[in-house]
Structure 1
Amino acid sequence: MALAGQVVELVRRLGGASAQVEATVSRAELALTRFANSAIHQNVAESAVEVRLRIHLDGRTVAASSTTVDPDGLRGLVERVLAAVRFAPRDPAWPGLAPPAPVASSRWDAATAQAGPHDRAALVRAFVDATEGLETAGYCRTAFRSVAFANSAGQAVQGHTAEAAMDGIARAGGVDGTARDCAERLADLDAAALGRRAAAKARAATDPVELPPGRYPVVLEPAAVADLLENLAWYGFNGKRYAEGQSFAEPGVAQFDPAVTLVDDPFDAAGLPFDLEGTPTGALPLVDAGLTRTVVHDRRSAAAVGGGSTGHAWEGASTVGPIPRNLRLVAAGATTTSGPAGTAPVTSGAATGTAAGGGAVGSLAGAVADADTAALVSRMPRGLLVSDLWYTRVLDPKSLVITGLTRNGVWLVEDGQVTRAVRDLRFTESYPRALGPGAVVEVGRRTARQPNRWDGARWEAPSLALASWNFTGGASG
């Protein structure tokens, strides 16, 4: 925190008392152990300190950053920004600085922050051994971040966060099964359980059959649901897109099924207690039992709609807008008013009868990741179990129509049993529609946090049973 304060004072000395200043000093440490062909092939670690400076002076705003933090480097950064701000365009939408306000204490695990290669290697070994001879690949990572913020309005705060994650695949018969987890503590990752899950999924995904395109009821596992949350965050609950009329979100309207409750909560994921503008953060309900409550804002997007910041400024907010970066779909575990689980019909070319080639139900038990997902599958008369979504691309941002592919396992479900592996499918679906009133059959009882790039974003969700999902073709078209 002292270094951030020094930068603010340096700007005042060189630029005058009229300059409005924000300084953020962050130290990020990321360590990654990668494995392929069932052996560790790379261990890398990086540590970087960055100073980010933003100055508003004479109605103009400029931001810049530097990784040189000695006195000469800091002075050079300040001088460059002061020189640039005099030639910057006018910034009439400047929202001002965050006022002084207390923030909560950080919660982080020191053992995870200090973990070394041997700690991660032990988890890799457990994952590989648990697959009982299958070919494996993946990574185990640990990360730590320390951030201090100060501005010329008197706000001065600091916080820390740590994370551990593991993501691995097992291969059997040319197909992959995957398992992943993310936790605040490295000690909470059960690598052997992840390895067993990946291996079971791989063995259950062999000899897949083709199914025709159409609308199918689905059970989406948490990894697939995480893609829904990420896109809803970027394109729906984004305050900049909302202010510009590009978001589907309509606060005060029941846009989702009553089973859907979405909360952005940095403290649930041991996140930082403030944002890049120094605004305190906290749990923010975005959707409450189907009713859209709000979108998230930084100071600029909030000013555009006459509101206040929700504490969601981050490095990309000035370009793409503020997003909820700790989004959780609340586990409910109860069938909703949309009807008995699995009653939605299969339409538009969905297969009827047992899939060609049959397949013993018992041998496919490994397709189901956990007991929570198994419960949702057991109440589905007919549909598809989907492990993961990927290569998702937005076709229509306003209605959030997205196309993408399944991966890492799709299975046909008949009378509550997994009966056959299915080849990957392409889909085209509106995410808000898929979660809309009457569309959510059931929400699982246990959430799982999904690994993401180490940029602070986290997605946490249970499995979901949805009445309909629009599959538009095979993976190749």
Structure 2
Amino acid sequence: MSAIVEQVLSLVPAGVEAEVTVVEHASAVTRFANSYIHQNVADTGTRVTLRLHAAGRTASGSTTTVDAAGLARLVERLTATAALLPPDALWAGVAPAGSLDPAARDGFASVDPATAAATPAERAAVVGAFVESAKGLLAAGYVRTSTATATFGNTAGQSLRGGYTEASLDGVARAASTDGGPADGVARATSRRLADLDGGLLGARAAAKAQATIGGVDLPPDDYEVVLEPQAVGDLLSGLSFYVFNGRAFAERRSFARPGEAQFDGALTLVDDALAADTYGVPFDAEGTPKRRTELVRDGVTQGVPHDRRTAREVGAESTGHSNGFGDTFGPMGTHLAITPAGGPAATEATGPVVDSDVAALVAGVRRGLLVTDFWYTRVLDPRSAVITGLTRNGVWLIEDGEVTAPVRNLRFTQSYPAALAPGRVLGIGAHAHALVERYSGAAHRAPALRLASWHFTGGASG
């Protein structure tokens, strides 16, 4: 247990339950635009989060002032705050003492020392490879490396420590457009190791997609069969996590999820697994509950939803290790969702808009439909059925008789994400899952490409 955790717990009044998390983080970003690096920034810090339960009332807060006076003020402030709050009837107590499951990976298995020590020059080398392989197209984006260490302790004696590193590249190549709209191609990759980011491969992919978007045509609003590339599937997973597989929404009967029912296509198996070898994160949640692999959907049948200690008590379940520290606001949700891929030979690169053989195999079965790279600016319209509206981005193409035939201008959609995955709607799953980082929450999902029977497009990007 870290000295800060011990110090905070020593200040907690007798008879008060408390849990303390100390997160030490360091992040560095190399940004580029117009094919030149224009910014290197780095940030380090320590945040202490405390939740305490006194006389039946719960208060939580945090501080970045970690000297003795700052920690004392945090405890005093929350002790006073708790006395002003209403009774907390759903308090489930702090997590009991216990170590990580021996079958789970070590608390620091997600740490790559070389990534933690990455220099601006090393990130610049990845940027340089991306720009060079873009073959003269304007390139923009960033390469980021970050590391975090979390230490947890509570008044029941639970003590855990873990950490991770993360490296990401998000880059765009822009070609000269002939139709007045953008001709952008995107390539993204994330890993716990900077060495896994191939800037040359990603730059070539972004450039090929940009060239293939030139001269986009307008299509009328309609329901189209679609092949969604992994980045678009990542947005679908984020929507499912926030609105469907969410313990708070489930407890309040706002979730689409009904365990035991065949709500999804039989081809679909969906898990949340922060301990998988191809992702990163600490192996315990904000309440000190060890994380574990959680089945959400198996062969189309809904199995359950993620829970923290509070929502688990509310519905008579057990915590699945999904407290995010903001449970009352957002609810416990999966941050490491993964659709089980079909499996098969390693994907090979291809030129043009079809990124690899996984996508090409799905496209080959489509008589008429659309190939979609990415979704963005997605917003919920109906949380209970997870109806989402948003736009396509960075490349859409018409598919005819198993071939990509023409670029298409961006489209707006309004679609229930669960309905798109309903029985009979999943027509194909890519052979391999791709690691993704959610740009706002930092969730680390893994997604294969998907071929879906229908996606409801309601208009062009302008309306």
Q: TM-score by structure 2 length?
A: 0.94
Query: Aligned to 2:224, which of 216, 224, 235?
Result: 216
Match of 2:138 in 1: 135
Residue identity in the other structure for 2:138:
E
Instruction: Provide the secondary structure at the position in 2 that maps to 1:319.
Output: coil
In 2, Cα distance between the equivalents of 1:90 and 1:320? 21
Residue identity in the other structure for 1:122:
A
Residue identity in the other structure for 2:51:
R
Deviation of residue 452 (structure 1)?
Answer: 2.4
Residue identity in the other structure for 1:237:
F
Match of 1:359 in 2: none
Match of 1:146 in 2: 149
Residue identity in the other structure for 2:454:
S
Deviation of residue 317 (structure 1)?
Answer: 1.7
1:444-455 maps to which residues of 2 (within 5 A)? 444-453=430-439, 455=441
Deviations 1:72-92 (A, max 9, x none): 211121122122222222111
Match of 1:337 in 2: none
Residue identity in the other structure for 2:380:
V
Please say if residues 3 and 25 of structure 1, whose CA atoms lie closer than 8 Å, have aligned partners that are also in contact.
no
The reply to whether residue 308 of structure 1 matches residue 318 of structure 2 is yes
1:121-132 maps to which residues of 2 (within 5 A)? 121-132=124-135
Deviation of residue 333 (structure 1)?
Answer: 4.8
Are the structure 2 counterparts of residues 441 and 327 from structure 1 closer, same or farther at C-alpha, using a change threshold of 3 Å?
same
The reply to whether residue 234 of structure 1 matches residue 242 of structure 2 is yes
Match of 1:356 in 2: none
Deviations 1:10-61 (A, max 9, x none): 234xx22x10010111101111111000000111110010111111010111
Where structure 2 has 5 or more consecutive residues not aligned to the other structure, the ranges are 178-182, 345-349
Deviations 1:136-165 (A, max 9, x none): 100000110100000001100000011100
Match of 1:340 in 2: none
In 2, Cα distance between the equivalents of 1:7 and 1:87? 25
Match of 2:176 in 1: 173
Please say if residues 8 and 152 of structure 1, whose CA atoms lie closer than 8 Å, have aligned partners that are also in contact.
no
Instruction: Provide the secondary structure at the position in 1 that maps to 2:195.
Output: helix
Please say if residues 377 and 413 of structure 1, whose CA atoms lie closer than 8 Å, have aligned partners that are also in contact.
yes
The reply to whether residue 325 of structure 1 matches residue 335 of structure 2 is yes
Residue identity in the other structure for 2:460:
G
The reply to whether residue 94 of structure 1 matches residue 91 of structure 2 is yes
Match of 1:295 in 2: 305
Deviations 1:257-291 (A, max 9, x none): 11111111111212211000000001111111111
Deviation of residue 62 (structure 1)?
Answer: 0.8
Query: Aligned to 1:267, which of 253, 275, 281?
Result: 275
1:174-213 maps to which residues of 2 (within 5 A)? 174=177, 175-213=183-221
Are the structure 2 counterparts of residues 418 and 375 from structure 1 closer, same or farther at C-alpha, using a change threshold of 3 Å?
same
In 2, Cα distance between the equivalents of 1:283 and 1:4? 30
1:14-413 maps to which residues of 2 (within 5 A)? 15-16=13-14, 18-103=15-100, 104=104, 105-106=106-107, 107=109, 108-174=111-177, 175-268=183-276, 269-333=279-343, 365-413=351-399
Instruction: Point out 4+ residue stretches in structure 1 off by more than 3 angstroms.
Output: 453-456
Residue identity in the other structure for 2:114:
A
Once the two structures are aligned, what percentage of the paired residues are identical? 53
Please say if residues 167 and 451 of structure 1, whose CA atoms lie closer than 8 Å, have aligned partners that are also in contact.
no
Deviations 1:91-121 (A, max 9, x none): 1111111001211412121111111111100
Instruction: Provide the secondary structure at the position in 2 that maps to 1:86.
Output: helix
Match of 1:11 in 2: 11
Instruction: Report the RMSD for the aligned CA atoms in angstroms.
Output: 1.3
Please say if residues 204 and 365 of structure 1, whose CA atoms lie closer than 8 Å, have aligned partners that are also in contact.
no
Please say if residues 8 and 21 of structure 1, whose CA atoms lie closer than 8 Å, have aligned partners that are also in contact.
no
Residue identity in the other structure for 1:156:
S
Please say if residues 4 and 148 of structure 1, whose CA atoms lie closer than 8 Å, have aligned partners that are also in contact.
no
Please say if residues 5 and 22 of structure 2, whose CA atoms lie closer than 8 Å, have aligned partners that are also in contact.
no
Match of 1:344 in 2: none
Are the structure 2 counterparts of residues 147 and 454 from structure 1 closer, same or farther at C-alpha, using a change threshold of 3 Å?
farther
In 2, Cα distance between the equivalents of 1:444 and 1:452? 20
Instruction: Provide the secondary structure at the position in 2 that maps to 1:366.
Output: coil
Deviation of residue 292 (structure 1)?
Answer: 0.6
The reply to whether residue 426 of structure 1 matches residue 423 of structure 2 is no
